[in-house]
Amino acid sequence: MYGNAYIEPDAKPVATIDEDPEKLAEFEARIARGEKIEPDDWMPAEYRRQVLRMIEQHAHSEIIGALPEGTWITRAPTLRRKLALIAKVQDEVGHGHLLYSAAETLGKTREAMINDLINGKSKYSNIFNYPAKSWADIAVIGFLVDAGAIVNQLANAKGSYGPYCRALERICYEESFHLKQGYDAFVALAVGTPAQRAMLQDALNRWWFPPMMHFFGPPDTISVHTEKLMRWKVKMARNEEMRQDFIEQYVPKIWELGMTLPDPALKRNEDGTWEYTQPDWDEFFRVINGDGPCNKERLAVRRYAEENGRWVREAMMNTAMKRMVPYA
């Protein structure tokens, strides 16, 4: 019974809930065989809670992530850049919708998820709590934040929960386009005038350390959920593995353009691992718990949209209801 009931995220931990050991063993065997878990399948309450937490946080990140870039649509330097940015921001909101739909399959309504976001109960990615101060910030977000998202999502797309994996597969295709438009804008500034390079360097310094170094989550010594999530193939790589993968792929691309990174310790070891300065993890927790530079502003925008869009949602629901009962 517990296995298919939605449990509030702050409900007591699963260790205190008795799962049917046979069902649990069969469930874990299915995961070990690489089978996908579908919404109507039996699943432990803790699996449901964890997958829901992750998809919901991811969905919130997509719609909050549209905000820093969205503010630059009206200030994009050319028509071509503006069109690409409009398309990208629209895609990000679409990703949010796809992910909310996937999360709903676990029994929580979209309304409840949005309420938890605007009331500050749910988390979303740390990175979107920093300001986008110049056009170069848009190039850095499009290139590096989307690159980071691809590293994370390509891994998670091979996970065990069917609806999340299918959503991620589609999202990854679109993120690849985002990465290309971000890289194109990044290169244009890197090979541009001295003022453009300086603007890009300033944006790179601010986004790299610490937001981008925090983006993949804390190391194993601090991470809370990794062990369980990896056992159940919800998460397919450790936070540090993803961070290393990102650094390995993208630092050379930044350096080859003659740009620098604000970390004197950054270097590749002979065994292929990278050394870097540990970011301040207390700051990370402050930011994700509501005390970053832009948290209040981001949630205020979402709250405004929620309140001022209510009449539109209600009108659409009424129209839909009327269509469903044509003879009423």
- Summarize as ranges the residues that interact with ligand COA (CB under 6 A): 53-54, 57-58, 61, 123, 125-126, 149, 152, 156, 214-218, 223-226, 229, 235, 239, 288
Of 48, 53, 245, the closest CA to residue 160 belongs to: 48
Taking the complex as a whole, how short is the minimal distance between the CB of residue 8 and ligand COA, in angstroms? Answer: 13
Taking the complex as a whole, how short is the minimal distance between the CB of residue 74 and ligand COA, in angstroms? Answer: 24
Return d(Cα 243, Cα 214) in angstroms, integer.
9
318, 133 Cβ separation under 8 angstroms: no
- The smaller minimum CB distance to ligand COA, of residues 54 and 167, is found at 54
Crossing angle, helix 310-324 and helix 295-308, to 10 degrees? 40
Taking the complex as a whole, how short is the minimal distance between the CB of residue 327 and ligand COA, in angstroms? Answer: 46
Taking the complex as a whole, how short is the minimal distance between the CB of residue 175 and ligand COA, in angstroms? Answer: 9
Taking the complex as a whole, how short is the minimal distance between the CB of residue 142 and ligand COA, in angstroms? Answer: 13
Taking the complex as a whole, how short is the minimal distance between the CB of residue 158 and ligand COA, in angstroms? Answer: 12
Q: Residue ranges of the alpha helices (H) in the chain?
A: 21-32, 45-70, 79-104, 110-118, 135-140, 146-156, 162-190, 194-207, 213-214, 226-231, 239-255, 281-286, 295-308, 310-324
Taking the complex as a whole, how short is the minimal distance between the CB of residue 126 and ligand COA, in angstroms? Answer: 4
- The smaller minimum CB distance to ligand COA, of residues 10 and 271, is found at 10
- The smaller minimum CB distance to ligand COA, of residues 153 and 201, is found at 153
At 324, list the tokens: 């469903």
Return d(Cα 183, Cα 20) in angstroms, integer.
50
- The smaller minimum CB distance to ligand COA, of residues 156 and 244, is found at 156
List Cβ neighbours of 254 (8 Å cut-off, separation of 6 or more).
204, 261
- The smaller minimum CB distance to ligand COA, of residues 201 and 295, is found at 295
Taking the complex as a whole, how short is the minimal distance between the CB of residue 236 and ligand COA, in angstroms? Answer: 9
Of 140, 277, 267, the closest CA to residue 202 belongs to: 140
Return d(Cα 139, Cα 182) in angstroms, integer.
5
The neighbour count for residue 12, using CB atoms within 10 Å, is 10
294, 129 Cβ separation under 8 angstroms: yes
- The smaller minimum CB distance to ligand COA, of residues 155 and 187, is found at 155
* Phi, psi for 209 (deg, rounded to 5): -135, 115
Omega cis (within 30) before 219: no
- The smaller minimum CB distance to ligand COA, of residues 64 and 203, is found at 64
- The smaller minimum CB distance to ligand COA, of residues 3 and 210, is found at 210
